[in-house]
Copies of this chain bind each other. A is one copy, B any other.
């Protein structure tokens, strides 16, 4: 059917070895032969068969991005950052949803075992027990990089945002505005991002001589729904906190929606700070003050660390990387009403 290296060799009157060299390492072939071969290659639209090459080279030239939820739009920008970087190195990107995969009973690292990919960028910080067991195997471990999320007890290369710093930024901003009764909305239980951001919030609060009592901590997920539900709780608190720090923009947007439905105004009655700076944060009403994560940068860096880890490109160096975050001041925060 499709033309192979053998055909090209025959037509060009050389061996397959020479064709292969002309394609992979042109300097090892005379200019004249190379040109003749390339002409034949062009004319017949020959492309190296990736499976044959991978089998022979023992290298897949592909990376798997493992997401906790492929449908979550938060990841799309990160994914595009990963792809941008991989493309520059001629590597392909496979994606899989770790939760959906577990449902099938297959291992999330199957791609690695089957040599389909050279490494996996794991964006899921809470793998199942089965996955954790596999992560303990050296031949899996040495091919994994964590991005965004990570395992508290693991020792893997990683790329992440400065989550603590982000929590602190939110606090400094609110305290600077005059707030001293601040609530905090968590993400899912055991999620490392939630824990880090909360730690950052507590540290910064302490620096200002404030604290975060248990009665001011709520939330259970990163979603719009969770934020919306939390509005009922916040609205019912007495005294009501004058500001809420949310661990995601989705929570914040859901929360603002819920507060409004209860007749509460943002920022007049309650200031709200998000986390992430997703695209719509600037366009909701009021526009959302939030902690910006550089998601493209996160994706690119994750791919870079991965490529280093598996020995593509530069020599292996720093295999961890924490990206700075920044405060985006918009209209969902204001000084508390006197």
B71 to A77, Cβ gap below 8 A?
A: yes
Tell me if A168 is interfacial: C-beta within 8 Å of chain B: no
A60 to B51, Cβ gap below 8 A?
A: yes
A76-117 CB contacts (< 8 Å) to partner B? 76-77, 79-80, 83-84, 87-88, 92-97, 100-101, 104, 110-111, 113-116
Residues in B with CB closer than 8 Å to A1 are: 139
**Complexed CA–CA distance, A257 and B101 (Å):** 39
State which of B50, B80, B115, B260 has its C-beta within 8 Å of the C-beta of A70.
Answer: B80
**Complexed CA–CA distance, A100 and B257 (Å):** 36
**Complexed CA–CA distance, A160 and B77 (Å):** 24
Tell me if A228 is interfacial: C-beta within 8 Å of chain B: yes
Which of A5-13, A27-35, A120-128, A278-286 lies at the interface?
A278-286
B113 to A100, Cβ gap below 8 A?
A: no
Nearest chain-B residue to A60 (Cβ)? Answer: B51
Tell me if A75 is interfacial: C-beta within 8 Å of chain B: yes
B51 to A55, Cβ gap below 8 A?
A: yes
Tell me if A256 is interfacial: C-beta within 8 Å of chain B: yes
Tell me if A48 is interfacial: C-beta within 8 Å of chain B: yes
Tell me if A215 is interfacial: C-beta within 8 Å of chain B: no
Tell me if A72 is interfacial: C-beta within 8 Å of chain B: yes
B283 to A228, Cβ gap below 8 A?
A: yes
State which of B47, B250, B279, B282 has its C-beta within 8 Å of the C-beta of A113.
Answer: B47
**Complexed CA–CA distance, A95 and B55 (Å):** 22
CB distance from A49 to the nearest CB of B (A): 5
* Most central of A1, A48, A92 by chain B CB within 10 Å: A92
The interface residues of chain A, by DSSP majority, are classed as helix
Tell me if A69 is interfacial: C-beta within 8 Å of chain B: yes
A71 to B60, Cβ gap below 8 A?
A: no
Tell me if A336 is interfacial: C-beta within 8 Å of chain B: no
CB distance from A293 to the nearest CB of B (A): 14
B83 to A70, Cβ gap below 8 A?
A: yes
Tell me if A254 is interfacial: C-beta within 8 Å of chain B: yes
Nearest chain-B residue to A296 (Cβ)? Answer: B71
A260-295 CB contacts (< 8 Å) to partner B? 260, 278-280, 282-285, 287
A73 to B279, Cβ gap below 8 A?
A: yes
Nearest chain-B residue to A92 (Cβ)? Answer: B94
Residues in B with CB closer than 8 Å to A24 are: none
State which of B47, B76, B87, B94 has its C-beta within 8 Å of the C-beta of A101.
Answer: B87
B260 to A50, Cβ gap below 8 A?
A: no
Beyond the given pairs A70-B83, A93-B94, A257-B283, 15 more chain A to chain B contacts, judged by CB atoms under 8 angstroms and listed by A's residue number, are A50-B114, A51-B52, A62-B94, A71-B77, A73-B73, A83-B100, A84-B97, A92-B94, A94-B95, A224-B282, A228-B283, A250-B279, A257-B285, A257-B287, A260-B285
Q: A residues within 8 Å of B by Cβ?
A: 1-2, 45, 47-52, 54-55, 60, 62, 69-77, 79-80, 83-84, 87-88, 92-97, 100-101, 104, 110-111, 113-116, 139, 224, 227-228, 250, 253-254, 256-257, 260, 278-280, 282-285, 287, 296
Q: In the A-B complex, list the 7 residue pairs whose CB atoms are closest, starting with the nearest.
A: A73-B73, A71-B80, A70-B80, A47-B113, A51-B55, A50-B114, A51-B54
